[in-house]
Structure 1
Amino acid sequence: MATISKGSYTPLYGRDSSQVKVEAFLLDVYPVSVSEYIQFLKENPKWQKSQVKGIFADKNYLNGWEGDLKPNPKTKEDEPITSVSWFAAKEYCKCKGKRLPTLDEWEYVAMADSKRIDARTTESYNQYILDWYEKPKGKHETIGSTFKNYWGVYDMHGLVWEWTQDFNSVMIASESRTGGNDNNLFCSAAAVGATDLMNYAAFMRYAFRSSLKGNYSVNNLGFRCAKDLDSIEK
């Protein structure tokens, strides 16, 4: 895991343009891979495709797999795992003694390019992210195939979207993990409250997250785990 030093940033939404402090924490260097998730399924059969309950994962969970422990034959073991629900990702991290990163933690790390902690005003960096958003999901791309950022973390952009602990905490009024969200709140009207109207890449992430429910399983949505730094120091 990479050590992320404490700092602050201005999020796109929800804080009246004020700086948000992010405490030091640990973050997985790579997204969780297919092989790592298979091991989790072996140890936790209730999360296998044939066993998982619909309240925790929709019908697209592990889409394309040929069996509970058998992905599509073309799938590589070091590909990022996708088509997993928030509930499943959360449980995976818990079983590893970790947790999902918060939205603020994820965005804080994701604003870094290879040399700068905050590259959000760099035109080439934003264009790189937008170009990736416009492309279809790449087939069988492996973890670590994108650049290593300032923190030593790979694949924050350019591989898959990622779950966060509080993925739906900003642009909707109710708890979408229970199914009570109002989709009108993440349409274009939501841009009114943005702190940076030019940061379209960040707006797309917030809008996408707020369209999700906890049991959704999307074929380009994976995850990585985080851990409190003080849990290591104690």
Structure 2
Amino acid sequence: MSTILSLDTSTKVCSVAIHQEGVLIGHQAYHLQKSHSNLLPGIIQQLAENCEMSLSDLTAVALSAGPGSYTGLRIGTATAKGMAYTLSIPLIALDTLDTMVAQVAPMLKGEELLCPMIDARRMEVYCKLVDHSGAEIWKTQPLIVDEHSFDDLQQESIYFFGNGSDKLEQLFGGVDRYHFIRDIHPSAAHMGEVAWAKFQHSAFEDIAYFEPEYLKEYRTNVPSQKFKV
């Protein structure tokens, strides 16, 4: 039986899950800021022990590959690549927003559009737009949200979710066709079905060359002080 370890470090939530052929066996998550590098190795080992298996029983490792936090994605990628290389198992990369869609779609009737959003600071989000079957209407992209962001979809009922949707709710909270689902975040627990589908099609990444999908350049703040020499 194929056993896949899934990792999600794309936001402040650090989560790990084990699935067997898409069925969730165990899951751990920690909602702690900047905890990924300290927690990830330990909770992977602990989860495997709790599921009464060793890491050598794994068939593949799946990674939430972005978009999301630059630092979080780098930590998750380094961990997943290291495990895949050490255990000689394939690496599976998943779009973070696709795993959010997999989490929310079963809650809805099937006629709505779904728009997962991850906060990208200020009024910018990472988002995509799909119908209930998962067919893409907008591909994964960065978007600066304003009152006109969805003018081209005036007849559609849209469900927004993820921490980026809070910005949109401030603009569109009173619009009948816009709906907001709170407390949805990327989670390894919802990666299993998508990862299993990729595993069956041998949709694996090259461990040596794989990089996460940042979508935009990482920027650091340059100190404004001038030092005398």
Q: Relative contact order (C-alpha < 8 Å, sep 6+): which is higher?
A: 1
TM range (shorter): under 0.3
Greater strand content? 2
TM-score (norm 2): 0.28
Larger radius of gyration: 2
